Amino acid sequence: MNDYQQRDLAHIWHPCSQMKDYESLPPLFVDHAKGAWLYDEKGKAYLDIISSWWANLLGHGNPVINERIKAQLEKLEHVIFAGCTHEAAITLTERLLPLLPKGLTKFHFNDNGSSSVEAALKIAFQYQLQTGHGERTRFMCLSDGYHGETIGALSVGSMDQFARLYQPMMMDNIHVKAPDCYRCPFHKTRENCQGDCIQYAEETFAQSAKETCALIVEPLLQGCAGMRVYPAVYLKKLRALCDAYNVLLICDEIATGFGRTGKLFACDHAGITPDIMTVSKGLTGGYLPMSITLTTDAVYNAFYADYSEHKAFVHSHTYAGNPLGCAAAHGVLDELMDHGVLKKAQTLAPWLTEQLTQRVGEHPHVGEIRHIGLIHALELVADKKKKTPYDPSRRMGYELYQKALSKGLLLRPLGDVLYFNPPLTISREELTFALDVLEDVLQSLS
Ligand SMILES: *Cc1c(COP(=O)(O)O)cnc(C)c1O
């Protein structure tokens, strides 16, 4: 343990960590970073193949984003966003508008992913109330979803052992059995899937839609569930169900937005528009905490009235619409759209799929390789034929994480699911390095 690490552990309580684990593997001290690489105090390099929690969309120290932020810094760093406005936010909405799923026209700025989800839930609830449906008080969500860690967001997520702990604090939501394509209950493959598992949602809607204000989902990719990818047809069917029962559809694009799935937004694969959509993470290239809750005119109009009618959405976060965050978002759009980064990532994705399949597809403990865009995940299993998971107490993923780290690759497995979710600017050479290390550490598995 170096001096920095000792001083860190004396006082810092790290997110999502059992602090005792750091006794044997202290936190990596990152001195600086460039592109997809992190460097420690001795100059040793680590490939950030998970984009620092899926946020760093276009590499660390991206010169275009840096310049945008520097220019903004000289002009205006922050201003109250109630009653005031500024150029970076206005021009950002104008640039985003033609890129969003058609019909999303109103932008409610917030300051991190969870806060945009909380806003989405409150908007949905209040919309129903103000359009004569005060009886619609509950939310539906997918059983293995993830929408953040604040209480509202947590309660529309998976009830795993960590979340269950807080159950007495949570809303009473309705969990719909999520698609599970690797272990499909209908024994379909991804090729011949017609979204049969929608029947679970249909049953739940028939029973509970009348008391439901909105359904919230991660479109096409359930990230925290282990990078579980489900087909566009399922999302289309959810949209149709919501329409049939007058339930609002909230799509949480915090992880999937801005090119992560190969298209600008995951909803684009299904050609649908949600009633409410949340974006964060890639929005600022992972530079600054900012999020937006997007809605349609129809939703917005339910709040637009004389003050005395008390229909306003009275919800705020201090750093909503932060100008530096908006400037970073401009840099992201410069790179993704104007400089062709999205297009380049689209051509890289099939190459990565092929490489990964060739190298580890036949490995006896690689159960499934699943992918969308540049996101590629492999689920490790004890028995490949029976798709039996490893005993979680073996912490197989954590063990491989340590091995990969010592070889200069930063993974952060989700249980026993290893994944790449690299910046879209990553090169073939860098991906080849990641594949080399991955292949190497997988050899230790028996
Ligand atoms: C990361 C994430 C969130 C939470 O965002 P925070 O900024 O960490 O609060 C919500 N939903 C999804 C799908 C995410 O991936």
Which mutation among 16, 279, 280 tests ligand 1's pocket best, with the greatest number of atoms within 8 A of CB? 280
pLDDT at 358: 98
Count Cβ atoms within 10 A of the Cβ of residue 70 and give its class: 0-12 exposed, 13-18 middle, 19 or more buried.
Answer: exposed
Percent of the chain with pLDDT over 70: 100
Strand pairing category for 291-296 and 276-279: antiparallel
Written as one letter, the residue type at 314 is V
State the pLDDT confidence band at 444, using cuts at 50, 70 and 90.
confident
Which residue matches tokens 């080849």? 432
Count Cβ atoms within 10 A of the Cβ of residue 407 and give its class: 0-12 exposed, 13-18 middle, 19 or more buried.
Answer: middle
> Distance between CA 28 and CA 22 in Å, rounded?
10
Q: Are 313 and 126 in contact (CB under 8 A)?
A: yes
Q: Are 51 and 57 in contact (CB under 8 A)?
A: yes
pLDDT at 12: 98
Feature table: binding site for pyridoxal 5'-phosphate: 113-114, 252, 317-318
Compute the distance from residue 214 Cα to the ligand 1 centre, in Å.
Answer: 19
Compute the distance from residue 81 Cα to the ligand 1 centre, in Å.
Answer: 23
Q: Are 137 and 213 in contact (CB under 8 A)?
A: yes
pLDDT at 427: 98
pLDDT (tens digit per residue) in 100-140: 999 999 999 999 999 999 999 999 999 999 999 999 999 99
pLDDT at 241: 98
Which mutation among 118, 151, 281, 290 tests ligand 1's pocket best, with the greatest number of atoms within 8 A of CB? 281
Written as one letter, the residue type at 166 is Y
pLDDT at 348: 98
Compute the distance from residue 256 Cα to the ligand 1 centre, in Å.
Answer: 10
State the pLDDT confidence band at 161, using cuts at 50, 70 and 90.
confident
pLDDT (tens digit per residue) in 324-375: 999 999 999 999 999 999 999 999 999 999 999 999 999 999 999 999 999 9
Cα–Cα distances (Å) from 94 to 87, 88, 278, 282, 324, in that order, read: 11, 10, 17, 18, 17
- Nearest by Cα to 113 from 140, 148, 138: 148
> Distance between CA 157 and CA 173 in Å, rounded?
9
pLDDT over 80 (residue 285)? yes
pLDDT over 90 (residue 210)? yes
pLDDT at 162: 82
State the pLDDT confidence band at 446, using cuts at 50, 70 and 90.
low
Compute the distance from residue 230 Cα to the ligand 1 centre, in Å.
Answer: 19
Over residues 298-327, mean pLDDT: 97
Compute the distance from residue 147 Cα to the ligand 1 centre, in Å.
Answer: 5
Which mutation among 114, 142, 227, 283 tests ligand 1's pocket best, with the greatest number of atoms within 8 A of CB? 114
- The beta-carbon contacts of 356-365 under 8 Å, at least 24 apart in sequence, are 356/435, 359/435, 359/438, 359/439, 360/438, 360/439, 360/442, 363/442, 363/445, 365/442, 365/445, 365/446
> Distance between CA 146 and CA 163 in Å, rounded?
10
Q: Are 289 and 324 in contact (CB under 8 A)?
A: no
- What are the extents of the domains in the chain? 30-60+339-442, 63-337
pLDDT (tens digit per residue) in 388-431: 999 999 999 999 999 999 999 999 999 999 999 999 999 999 99
Cα–Cα distances (Å) from 431 to 48, 174, 236, 364, 413, in that order, read: 11, 40, 33, 23, 17
State the DSSP string of 231-265.
-HHHHHHHHHHHHHHT-EEEEE-TTTTTTTTSSSS
State the pLDDT confidence band at 165, using cuts at 50, 70 and 90.
very high
pLDDT over 70 (residue 445)? yes
- Nearest by Cα to 254 from 303, 228, 229, 217: 217
Helix 63-75 / helix 323-333 crossing angle, nearest 10 deg: 150
pLDDT (tens digit per residue) in 19-74: 999 999 999 999 999 999 999 999 999 999 999 999 999 999 999 999 999 999 99
pLDDT (tens digit per residue) in 33-46: 999 999 999 999 99
CATH 3.40.50.1110 for the 63-337 domain, yes or no = no
Q: Give the DSSP H/E element, type plus range, for residue 31.
A: none
What's the whole-number average pLDDT of the chain? 97
pLDDT (tens digit per residue) in 216-238: 999 999 999 999 999 999 999 99
Return the ligand 1 atom nearest residue 148 CA: 4
CATH topology of domain 30-60+339-442: Aspartate Aminotransferase, domain 1 (3.90.1150)
Other Cβ atoms within 10 Å of 196 Cβ, number: 16
